Structure 1
Amino acid sequence: MAKWGEGDPRWIVEERPDATNVNNWHWTEKNASPWSQERFRELFKDVPVKSDKALLKIKSVDICEGEACANNRKGKLIFFYEWNLTLNWEGELIDGSDRIHSGKIKVPNLSEENDMDDLDIQISLTDPDEEGEQLRQIMLKEGKNVVRQQLSKYVTSLKEEFSKGMILPKKNEIKPDQVKTLASGFNKKVSMAPVVSENKAVSVTIDTTTIKQIHKFQCTAEEFYNALTQHDMVTAFTRGNVKLNPIKGGKFELFGGNITGTFEELVPHKKIVKHWRYGQWPTGHYSLVTIEINQKSDYTEVQLTQTGVPTGQADVTKTNWDRYYWEAMKLTFGFGAPLAEDF
């Protein structure tokens, strides 16, 4: 690992022709929610359910609630998705009254934590009668398999289609004719037009916003403070190499160098203030993070205020605080508490 100021070869963007995400080492996240909703609509539009006794099909998506994203962390793709789906189905018996019956299919727990075979798939009937119940039973037997097949297609396309471009070829893997079209983890084209330097100072104004969060942890204020300032504890919840010097002016480097900054104020068990930077932000731009720690009778309340966050990065920054700091700390140290608030 390189010393402070020397630079680690993994982070030297000049050595990559596309000048982005060297060796895929940056922590990047790509929102897959809008893409997923559209994919569900495609997968469940007039899908036939084969049966010798009935003409059945899954008509459309009625309700689609949840979220999905793809993360590239140190060259490894990690997928998160959690959806509650309600689908419309309809059908008629081949030897029946020619009446078309309809109903709903609910999938309340589609996520990466559940195997496809274990999914809870509920099938209901809009207007119950004898014929309708026969159709519902066929859907229970045959329709569930079709739902699982289509959802398996969604997961496959999320991992193979949506994530294209998030893992970039390394410097020695790039062919000359690829340089102009390489995409970053957010699928933005990289312009490789020559840049002519005129040695003029350029002032860039960055539109910024403020993030505020309140979280409650089942631990003491001292335990929480230590979790953010003691090298062994920070290493434990970030699960990687850490550089940490918790004194005023001391530097820190987390998540493979993707998060860097300096400590500005440390009040033991009460307050941490630091200049904090996400590697995807414009060069040299830092936010100011203030973490206030308040010991209560049976829990610790933590208030985070982060000023100077680039507006376009606000949502991903909130998500990353939640996932890679707070949730990771709760899982690692048993600080679990379900209450959190953005304001």
Structure 2
Amino acid sequence: MAKWGEGDPRWIVEERPDATNVNNWHWTEKNATPWSKERLPQLFTDFKIEQQDIECVVDSVDKCNGEATVNNRKGKLIFFYEWELVLKWSGRLLKNSNLSHKGKLTIPNLSEENDLEDVEITVTIDESNDESETLKQFMYNVGRERIRNQLGVYIKELKEEYSKNLILPKKDANSSDSTAEANDAKNAKNAAQKAASLPSAAAAPKSSSNSSAARSVGCKLDVRTLSMTEEFHCNANDLYNALTKPEMVTAFTRAPAKVDAVRGGEFVLYGGNVLGKFEELVPEKKIQQSWRLKNWSSGHYSNVVIELEETSSSTMMTLKQTGIPASEYDAMRTNWYRYYWHSIKQTFGFGSSISDAL
């Protein structure tokens, strides 16, 4: 546990009036899903697409399923969004016809993983005839590009709206070296004063050792426990391998990974941001790890126990993680889903999308 005046100074928050997120080090998150579900229909309802003798319009948004979040990690903004959209459209030929034809535009996966020009848009019509096929071809050749432009507006507004106030000014952004030294001296003085105000080792009960008296000095981290269950459409051996085989871990983390899956073996993932060691391994059944994020207080590890239970059609994964710093708890649940379970399913075809899991 980190003590006052010791360990990683990024965990000391007394120098900010709000006492939160010093130097933008901790993971902070904004939920952009409600705003997105309101903004996407606004962008597409009554959206006209016209050219020469053809007029088409998106009448409504028939389906808008998904999520969007914006995160600040170490002063870097990270945007996550994943949407499935179905738009109803109608169109008519302006010459020699007054008939209106209807159809749908389906966007199965608008996400940060795909470039805008690669976003899939399927065009369908309700009834096929010469006129409707002409309109369908127009929507395919011209309409899809206009729709992508509107999606670009959504992405731009998402980044502008949800980046506000997410990155706080850094404590030392405008400080000189001398100011930094003065702050260090002030911190040391404060730590000494706090230690002096606590009972000394001599005043402690005789049964207490000097080391235990030292451990009583300062503030311990507030920690929480996380439990979650997830279903994977694979056998237990496949999922166990995905979590312990270096080549499979590298595949779903999309980054070089060090994984020594033996008792006492170390693992280092996501560019060194996740690290720890294996405490117990039971093939196809159980994985126990000492697990930490790089930015956690020096020497602090959580305990992760992953248990696998194979059923007739799938494998149920149960995770229990104890010792999570309270400030990281909400982000930790999201990150397990996004960076482990969803990524494993997406990479190896073991299940459904994250939106189904959440």
Q: What's the TM-score once normalised by structure 1's chain length?
A: 0.64
Q: Report the number of matched residues.
A: 278
Find the counterpart in structure 2 of residue 136 from structure 1: 136
Given that 2:33 and 2:66 are in contact with CA atoms closer than 8 Å, whether structure 1 keeps it comes out as yes
Q: Within the alignment, does 1:322 sit opposite 2:337 as a pair? A: yes
Instruction: Indicate if the aligned counterparts of 1:237 and 1:325 stay in contact, CA closer than 8 A.
Output: no
The answer to whether the aligner puts 1:169 opposite 2:202 as a matched pair is: no
SS in 1 for 2:154: helix
How far residue 96 of structure 1 moved from its aligned partner, in angstroms, is 2.9
1:26 matched to which residue of 2?
A: 26
Task: State the match for 2:211 in structure 1.
Answer: none
- SS state at 1:98 partner: coil
Deviations 1:219-276 (A, max 9, x none): 299879955985741x3346337577979xx98642411898556xxxxxxxxxx3xx
Cα 1:3–1:219, aligned 2, differ >3 Å: closer, same or farther? farther
Match of 1:254 in 2: 293
Asked whether the equivalents of residues 228 and 320 of structure 2 are also in contact (C-alpha less than 8 Å), the reply is yes
Instruction: Check whether the contact 1:69–1:81 (CA below 8 A) recurs between aligned residues.
Output: yes
Q: Higher helix share goes to which structure? A: 2
User: How many Å separate the matches in 2 of 1:78 and 1:101?
Assistant: 41
State whether structure 2 residue 254 is matched by structure 1 residue 239: no
Aligned to 2:123: 123
Give the superposition deviation at 1:55.
2.4
**How does 1:301-312 map onto structure 2 within 5 Å?**
302-305=317-320
Alignment of 1:288-303 (within 5 A): 290-292=305-307, 302-303=317-318
1-side partners of 2:326 and 2:136: how far apart? 49
Q: How does 1:81-96 map to 2 (within 5 A)?
A: 81-96=81-96
**Partner of 2:350 in structure 1?**
338
1:245–1:307 Cα change, 3 Å: closer
| Deviation sequence 1:59-81 (CA, Å, 0-9, x none) | 22111122222222211111222
How far residue 85 of structure 1 moved from its aligned partner, in angstroms, is 1.2
What is the RMSD of the two structures over their aligned residues, measured on CA atoms? Answer: 4.6
Cα distance in 1 between the residues matched to 2:273 and 2:330? 24
Structure 2 Cα separation of the partners of residues 219 and 148 of structure 1 = 39
Q: Retained in 2: the 8 A contact 1:62–1:88?
A: yes
Q: Could you tell me which residue of structure 1 aligns to residue 46 of structure 2?
A: 46
Write out aligned runs for 1:49-198 (5 A).
49-172=49-172
If you compute each CA radius of gyration, which structure gives the higher value, 1 or 2? 2
Aligned-partner Cα distance in 1 for 2:310–2:99: 65
**Which structure 1 residue ranges, 5 or more long, are not aligned?**
175-205, 264-273, 275-288
Specify whether residues 310 and 128 from structure 1 end up closer, same or farther in structure 2 by C-alpha distance, changes over 3 A only: farther
Indicate the residue corresponding to 2:241 in structure 1.
219
Distance in 1, Cα, partners of 2:104 & 2:119: 16
Q: Is this contact kept in 1: 2:8–2:298, CA < 8 A?
A: no
Q: Deviations over 1:172-226 (max 9, x none)?
A: 459xxxxxxxxxxxxxxxxxxxxxxxxxxxxxxx999854446652429987995
SS at match of 2:269: helix
Residue by residue, what CA displacement relative to the aligned partner does 1:318-339 show, whole Å, maximum 9, x if unpaired? 32223345567x69xxx96725
Structure 1 residue 33: Cα displacement: 2.1
The equivalent of 1:277 in structure 2 is none
1:89 is displaced (CA, Å) by 1.1
Report the residue type matching 1:219 in the other structure. N
Residues 295 and 107 of structure 1, relative CA distance in 2, 3 Å threshold: closer
Q: Could you tell me the percent identity over the aligned residues?
A: 43
Q: Is the 8 A contact 1:253 1:260 kept in 2?
A: no
Distance in 2 (alpha carbons) for counterparts of 1:94 and 1:339: 47
Q: In the TM superposition, what is the alpha-carbon distance from 1:126 to its structure 2 partner?
A: 1.5
Residue 211 of structure 1 contacts residue 307 of structure 1 at CA under 8 Å; is this kept in 2? Answer: no
8 Å CA contact 1:252–1:260 kept in 2: the answer is no
Runs of at least 5 residues in structure 2 that lack an aligned partner in the other structure: 175-222, 247-258, 281-288
Write the letter of the residue equivalent to 1:239.
G
Using the TM superposition, give the Cα deviation of residue 149 of structure 1 relative to its aligned residue in structure 2, in angstroms: 0.5
Confirm or deny: 8 A CA contact 1:210 1:305 kept in the other structure: yes
1:11 Cα shift?
2.5
